[in-house]
Amino acid sequence: MAVAFFYLFSAIMLASAFMVIAARNPVHSVLFLILAFVNAAGLFMLAGAEFLGMILIVVYVGAVAVLFLFVVMMLDVDFAELKRGFLQVLPIGAIVGAVVAIELILVVGSWAIAPEGSAPLGAPMKPGLTNTQALGQVLYTQYLLFFQLAGLVLLTAMIGAIVLTLRHKVVKRQNIPEQNARTQAGVVEIKKVPFRAGV
C-alpha cells in the first residue's frame, strides 16, 4: 500500500511540477505549485518525516504559495512583457539546468553503485519520542542561538522588503491662514483676448 501511494504521489508531483513551468496562465502555475507541495508533503509523511510534511503544508502552501497567488492576481503583471527577454537569458538557464542535471545524475549514480555509502547518519534518539519532539529538543537546546539568528535574519529581510516597497503618498492639506489671506489681485488675472483668438 505504501509503495502504491509513493508512486501515486510521485507521479502527481512530477506532473504538477512540469505544469508549473508549462502553464501559460500564471495563476494556474501557482495552483499547480500548491498541488506539487501537497504531494511532496505526502511523500514526507510516507518517509516518516511528519514534521517536514506539516511544515510544507503550513508554511509553503499556507503562506508562500497563497501569497504568490494573491500577488499575481492583484498586481496584474504583464507577463507577455516579461517574456520578451527570454531568449537573452536562455543560454544561462541552459547552463544552470545542465549543471543541476549532472549533479542529479552523479547523486543517483553514486547511490546505485554504492547504496551503503549514502546511508543516513542518524542521531541517537530517546525511546518514546517522535521526530517532531526530538527535532524540537535539538533546535531549542543545542542550536537555540542559530535558530534565533535565523529568525532575526528573516525579520530583517521582511522589514527591508517593506521599506523598499513602501510608497509615500503626498497628501495635500489645507492652510487656513494662507487661504484667508488671498486677495483678488493675487489669484485672478484679467486678460483682454483679441477677437477670434484663443487664450
Domains and their CATH numbers in the chain: 1-78 (1.20.120.1200)
From the number of C-beta atoms within 10 Å of its C-beta (0-12, 13-18, 19+), residue 45 rates as: middle
pLDDT at 112: 62
pLDDT at 23: 84
From the number of C-beta atoms within 10 Å of its C-beta (0-12, 13-18, 19+), residue 65 rates as: buried
**pTM value?**
0.55
For residue 128, what is its C-alpha cell?
518514546
- Tens digit of pLDDT per residue, the chain (199 long)? 888 888 999 999 999 999 988 888 777 888 888 899 899 988 988 888 888 888 888 888 877 777 777 777 666 666 666 667 677 888 888 899 999 999 888 877 776 666 565 555 555 667 777 777 888 888 888 888 998 998 899 889 888 877 777 766 777 788 888 888 888 777 788 778 887 776 5
Q: What is the DSSP string of 12-61?
A: HHHHHHHHHHH-SSHHHHHHHHHHHHHHHHHHHHHTT-HHHHHHIIIIII
Q: What is the DSSP string of 71-107?
A: HHHHHT--HHHHGGGHHHHHHHHHHHHHHHHHHHHHH
